[in-house]
Amino acid sequence: MPNIIKIDLSDKYRTLLTDVLPYELPLWYNNYNMYNCLKNNLSNYMTVSTLKNKISENLIPFNYKVFRGENKSPRVLSIIHPLSQLHVCDFYEKYATIIEYYCSKSDKSLRYPFKIATSFYGKVNKMGAQKKIDSIEMYEDDPKTASSYFKYLKYPFLYRFFESYEYHKLEKRFNHMMQVDISKCFPNIYTHSIGWATKNKRLAKNRSNGSFEHHFDTLMQNTNYKETNGIVVGPEVCRIFAEIILQQIDIDIVKILKSKYEDGIDYEIRRYVDDYFIFYRSLNVGEAVHLAISDALVKYKLHLNEAKTEYIVRPFTTKISITKNNIKNTIHKLFNYKTEKNGEIHKINYPDRKANQIISKIKMVIFQNNVLYSSISNYLIKSIENQFTDLINEINGLDKKEEHHLNWILVDLDVLFFFYAMDIRVRTTDKIAKQVEFLLTTISTWKEEAIKEVIYKKIFDLIKQAIDIFLITKGELYGLEILNLLVLLTLLPVHYQLDVNRLDQYYLRLIGTTSEDDFYFIWVTFLLYIKNNNVYDEIKSKLIILAKDYLTNNKDLFNSSHYFILFFDFASCPYVEKNIRSDVINKVKKINKANYKDETKDYILNNDFIVQWKKTDYLQNSLNKREFIFSYE
């Protein structure tokens, strides 16, 4: 039975674990360690940085790009400054109930926060960790926090709406559906417009400095280097800011149409973040609703992306939905073949041949429906993962592991990595990483060493191949996908390591695509891979010189989020000699005109900040935590 776990509502810092980071991050990156640092030792970081914990500071977010799929422009995401993250904690503590109110005004929204999370369900597994139930979860050794600060209605993912009774009811009543979205919604949101949404434009211009909308406006500027045009993309708090504005726009749309058409009778509107779904019977009504949405958005300096408008006539289904259903049936047939009628696992002798057969049949389904891999990759990989997990659990329960058991594992790995190679992105890499970690953890207790070695070698080769494919096929690199694959190799036994030339090629290719303010991910990932292995000393020297030059010559210093987190992670990195770290700290102290004692310096030298350098199981822990981070698409 699941346990109901109470959240410590007095802990305002829990926001650091839920609402301030993007989902698409390196596998090792989370805020759990920083949470403890800032909660228990904030004064040390303030003293070293000489920053004042005030919202008036000029704080620069750490912006980075992620690959979104073929023929799509990259998405720019942001890690807001650690001090900005603390300001979000303060804001939530003061205004959480007002956020609830402003996010519950419209009945058109499909995803919105409706109340502060006070408890959540957890289920203790055999390893003593809390396992997620219905996307809400925690771990015993971590602060008691849900996956988000607020509880949400109605649908955590858009596909849940398409599978819902609500959607089918709308299809009964209306024979047309139109889908439109806002063009570059977050980058175009004007921060002052929060006042227009909560009051009106005239009253907003006369607002009090102590008002909710003034504080939220100022907070959004604080996260984005005082910019008023656009908000950063990634943190949940920014989605909430947008949601408040878009809820008022929902209301405005209905008002515009009220004189001619009745909401709920002539048409229905649903909105998922910045995507609108219009349901109607008459084409004239559909165009009128479309125009009303456009007019309502213009008042907030927002516009529809006309190029992406889609029209659907009953039955309300798409090529993607049809493909997913066909994939589901195909995978069920293909993978059920593994088990004989007597319950034993079917024997096969040529795993590569069987993998090719499965891959070909799934490819045919995708080809017949004329959809892009990127549109169904998450579903496809998850479906294969589910079958793979069942297989591993079944084999794990056997007293003796035999060659045909190994062969089926090799088949599933080949199939999984083939379709992953078709759409290498952060989210698909995340799924692969969790599956590889699960497999390696499971086989670690097996007695059959020869079987284990074959699996290790297979994973090593497949990951190398995936990195090479990404490097060769992508014209412009953003790097996060490769870095996550690279760090995944650290889960393998130590004798499976890349040769120096190959690793150096990876480094040179990646570092050549960065600027001086976005190499932090590369720097940390390569040191996590290299550690103290003297085979890679030359590459490590390059990394140390890169960090030293940046930390002692950057003009923004600690006002930059990139600088702030790199400095404290560099200072505590055990793979850089202590005298080098100490020398950099002294130089930065002088440049920054800081004044602190040796005990403060010793603290930052010996205490991890973001990266858990000293934990050997850092990646396994991070992967477990990432499983419980809420994401949406």
Q: Tell me: the pLDDT tens digits for 61-91?
A: 999 999 887 777 889 999 999 999 999 999 9
What is the model's pLDDT at position 128? 36
Residues 480 and 620 in one domain: yes
Residues 364 and 256 in one domain: no
Average pLDDT for 52-68: 90
Residues 381 and 410 in one domain: yes
Banded pLDDT at 563 (limits 50, 70, 90): very high
What is the model's pLDDT at position 543? 97
Distance CA 21, CA 15 (A): 10
Task: Out of 210-214, 332-336, 402-406, 546-550, pick the least confident.
Answer: 332-336
List phi, psi (to 5°) of 294.
-60, -45
Cβ atoms of 130 and 124 within 8 Å: the answer is: yes
> Which of helix, strand or coil describes residue 68?
coil
Answer yes or no: is pLDDT of 349 > 70.
yes
- Last-in-domain residue among 313, 336, 361: 313
Lookup: tokens for 370 = 């004329």
Residues 403 and 510 in one domain: yes
Residues 382 and 428 in one domain: yes
Q: 232 is in which domain, residue-wise?
A: 176-313
Residues 181 and 324 in one domain: no
What is the model's pLDDT at position 625? 74
Distance CA 82, CA 31 (A): 10
Banded pLDDT at 137 (limits 50, 70, 90): very low
514: in domain: yes
> Number of structural domains, the chain?
2
What is the model's pLDDT at position 392? 96
Q: Which residues contact 332 (CB under 8 A, 6 or more apart)?
A: none
Residues 307 and 369 in one domain: no
Residue type, 340: E
Burial class, 8, CB count within 10 angstroms (exposed 0-12 / middle 13-18 / buried 19+): exposed
**Tens-place pLDDT, residues 467-493:** 998 888 766 667 898 999 999 999 999
| Residue keyed to tokens 């509502």 | 9
Residues 354 and 309 in one domain: no
Closest CA relative to residue 456, chosen from 398, 418, 404, 409: 409
Beta bridge partners of 462: none
Rg, the chain, Cα only: 26
Answer yes or no: is pLDDT of 511 > 70.
yes
Residues 301 and 437 in one domain: no
What is the model's pLDDT at position 319? 87
What is the model's pLDDT at position 1? 45
Distance CA 51, CA 230 (A): 25
What is the model's pLDDT at position 476? 65
Tally of CB atoms within 10 A around 136: 19
Apex 157 CA angle, 154 and 162, nearest 5: 80
Closest CA relative to residue 507, chosen from 534, 539, 480: 539
List phi, psi (to 5°) of 179.
-115, 125
Beta bridge partners of 136: 133
Is the pLDDT higher at 251 or at 129?
A: 251
Residues 286 and 360 in one domain: no
Helices marked H in 491-560 = 500-511, 520-530, 537-553
Answer yes or no: is pLDDT of 122 > 70.
no
Residues 437 and 356 in one domain: yes
Dihedral of CA atoms 531, 534, 535, 536 in degrees, nearest 10, equals 50
**Tens-place pLDDT, residues 316-330:** 988 888 999 999 999
2: in domain: no
343: in domain: yes
292: in domain: yes
> Which of helix, strand or coil describes residue 455?
helix
Distance CA 403, CA 409 (A): 10
Answer yes or no: is pLDDT of 627 > 70.
no
Residue type, 37: C
298: in domain: yes
> Which of helix, strand or coil describes residue 192?
coil
Closest CA relative to residue 67, chosen from 384, 374, 389: 374
Answer yes or no: is pLDDT of 132 > 80.
no
Distance CA 570, CA 552 (A): 12
Distance CA 143, CA 605 (A): 24
| % of the chain with per-residue pLDDT over 70 | 92
**CATH code of residue 196:** 3.30.70
Closest CA relative to residue 558, chosen from 323, 146, 435, 550: 550
Crossing angle of the two packed helices 319-336 and 373-396, in degrees rounded to 10: 20
Distance CA 331, CA 406 (A): 20
The total number of residues shown for the chain amounts to: 633
- Last-in-domain residue among 278, 295, 313: 313
DSSP conformation class of 128: S
Beta bridge partners of 124: 130
286: in domain: yes
What is the model's pLDDT at position 477? 67
What is the model's pLDDT at position 632? 53
What is the model's pLDDT at position 204? 56
Query: Terminus-to-terminus CA distance in the chain, angstroms?
Result: 31
**Tens-place pLDDT, residues 230-272:** 999 999 999 999 999 999 999 999 999 999 999 999 999 999 9
62: in domain: no
Answer yes or no: is pLDDT of 135 > 80.
no
Answer yes or no: is pLDDT of 144 > 60.
no
What is the model's pLDDT at position 287? 98
Closest CA relative to residue 178, chosen from 55, 279, 74: 279
Answer yes or no: is pLDDT of 159 > 60.
yes
Average pLDDT for 276-284: 98
22: in domain: no
- Last-in-domain residue among 313, 348, 379: 313
